[in-house]
Structure 1
Amino acid sequence: MKKILFTILILIFGAVPSFAEEKLLIIYLYNKNSPYLKEIENKIIKNKYLAKRIQKNFNFKKIQIGTQQAEDFVKKFKIKEKEGVYFIDFSAGEVLYSLTDLSKPCRCANLINYFSRKLHKKNIDPDRYLYLAEKWGAYTRKVEKEYLF
């Protein structure tokens, strides 16, 4: 009886992870002396609202360019070794969006919002979403202590 119960429990706990949806992967490739590194850390990673959203919806990794880990990442996803933020569907092995212009950290924040709301699965174009978010000033100002999105 104990063996049957043990087998059933193993099957249940083994099947549960297969029903769970895999999180998207966010890779931040950075140069050691990058002018954007501190800005991305302060405005994205240390932002309470965005940090919660990242932790809940993504696997986030910071990788320094020039390391073995960066080389492996570049080879695996067939991209240039260039500083940027990459949104990746790891299970499909494809880069969903790459943001290499880091002069506007609000674009990165808007993309975090876009992918955490799974708008890519609803066939909403990320570039169109970014255009509208920037037009409305999302993440560049606050409204009643809440972000616009």
Structure 2
Amino acid sequence: MRRLILGFLAVFLISIPALSQEKLMVVYLYEKGSKHYQKINDKILKNKYLAKRINKHFNFYRIEIGTKLSEKFINRYGLEKTEGVFFIDPSSGKVLYKLTDLTKPCRCANLINYFSRKLYKKGIDPDRYVEMAEKIRAYQKKVEKDYLF
């Protein structure tokens, strides 16, 4: 009887990781000496709210273009060899959204909010979401109540 209980417990513990969903991947490809690198770092990665959201919902990779790791990601997921932020579903390898215009870090922040809430599974268009968020100036102000939730 004890072996049977231990067997069920072992099967249960082994199956838990299989039942959990994989986190989406966010790949930030940047060029050496990029003018956007510091903006993304300061406005997105150092923002305590966004950093917490990124760690909880995404596997985040910051990769310099021209390295072996960047070549691996570019070839594996069919990414462009340009600077940008790519949201990737790791189970299918599909690029859900790519943002190559990094002049507005708030757009990247709004996309992080969009994908962390899994709004793409609810049929909400990411471009429409970003448009609505930019109308209320989400992530352009430092007041947390101005964010689009």
Secondary structure at the residue paired with 1:56? helix
The equivalent of 1:110 in structure 2 is: 110
The amino acid that maps onto 1:37 is Y
Counterpart-to-counterpart distance in 1, 2:72 and 2:89: 16
The equivalent of 1:28 in structure 2 is: 28
The equivalent of 2:147 in structure 1 is: 148
Counterpart-to-counterpart distance in 2, 1:113 and 1:88: 15
Cα RMSD after superposing both structures: 1.3
The equivalent of 1:55 in structure 2 is: 55
The equivalent of 1:122 in structure 2 is: 122
The amino acid that maps onto 1:21 is Q
Secondary structure at the residue paired with 1:146? helix
2:10 counterpart of 1:10: yes
Secondary structure at the residue paired with 2:97? strand
2:78 counterpart of 1:78: yes
Counterpart-to-counterpart distance in 1, 2:147 and 2:40: 20
Percent identity over paired residues? 53
TM-score, with structure 2 as normaliser: 0.93
TM-score, with structure 1 as normaliser: 0.93
Counterpart-to-counterpart distance in 1, 2:80 and 2:142: 35
The amino acid that maps onto 1:148 is Y
Q: Which runs of 4+ in 1 moved over 6 A?
A: none
